[in-house]
Chain A
Amino acid sequence: DAKTTQPNSMESNEEEPVHLPCNHSTISGTDYIHWYRQLPSQGPEYVIHGLTSNVNNRMASLAIAEDRKSSTLILHRATLRDAAVYYCILRGGSNYKLTFGKGTLLTVNP
């Protein structure tokens, strides 16, 4: 499985934007970039995914570098409820599993 690299932890203030980076230099052409987050005592929650173009949904935006070797998850206005571990995962077209790394622990300060 292609590997992703994320910072261990990041900190943000409430109502400010948060940019969570992910490096994936060995990404292949058919790998989708997925983001999940896990709040304390819950299962992971799907956030967003994309292949080549930037993606937006009600939760977040995903900015994908032109060479696809990195991506950034953008939370436009962080809330206390966004405090979680965020996982960046590559998933190939015929890959029926998610390979989780250690993720980024996001702390949101009031």
Chain B
Amino acid sequence: KAGVTQTPRYLIKTRGQQVTLSCSPISGHRSVSWYQQTPGQGLQFLFEYFSETQRNKGNFPGRFSGRQFSNSRSEMNVSTLELGDSALYLCASSLAGAGGSYTFGSGTRLTVV
């Protein structure tokens, strides 16, 4: 079966711009989470969606937002990009959430210049 698909794989943006990243979960998975990975901070949780509702949110500024559509696909948006937003953004999907395992995508590498 198809895995978690993230697009695009690579992105270069300029400070001040905004960006939208996309994630298609495994078919049947209704929970989608987003993580940011940087060399300094490691993997950090951004937010989690289930049935189009945000259930949990990490400690990131309001510039980071997300949404989930009725087909479980999810997008995350970062506005007013800063150099420190350069990171690997990972999406993970799960059947229902708590207790079960997550399947991660390969990520979107965002570079802010």
Contact = CB atoms under 8 A, between A and B. Distances in A.
| A interacts with B | yes
B42 A98 contact: no
Interface of B: prevailing SS: strand
Given A43-B90, A44-B90, A99 B98 contact: no
A98 B99 contact: no
Interface in A26-42: 32, 34, 36, 42
Given A91-B99, A95-B98, A96-B33, A43 B105 contact: yes
B55 A46 contact: no
A93 B42 CA distance: 24
Interface of B: 4, 31, 33, 35, 42-45, 48, 50, 55-56, 58, 90, 92, 97-99, 101-107
Interface of A: 32, 34, 36, 42-46, 49, 87, 91-102
Nearest to B6: A43
Contacts, number: 56
A37 to B, nearest CB: 11
Given A32-B99, A102-B42, A97 B105 contact: no
Contact of A98 (B4, B102, B106): B102
Interface of A is mostly: loop
A43 B105 CA distance: 6
B102 A96 contact: no
B99 A93 contact: yes
A32 B98 CA distance: 9
B45 A99 contact: yes
Nearest to B31: A96
B43 A100 contact: yes
A92 B98 contact: yes
B110 to A, nearest CB: 14
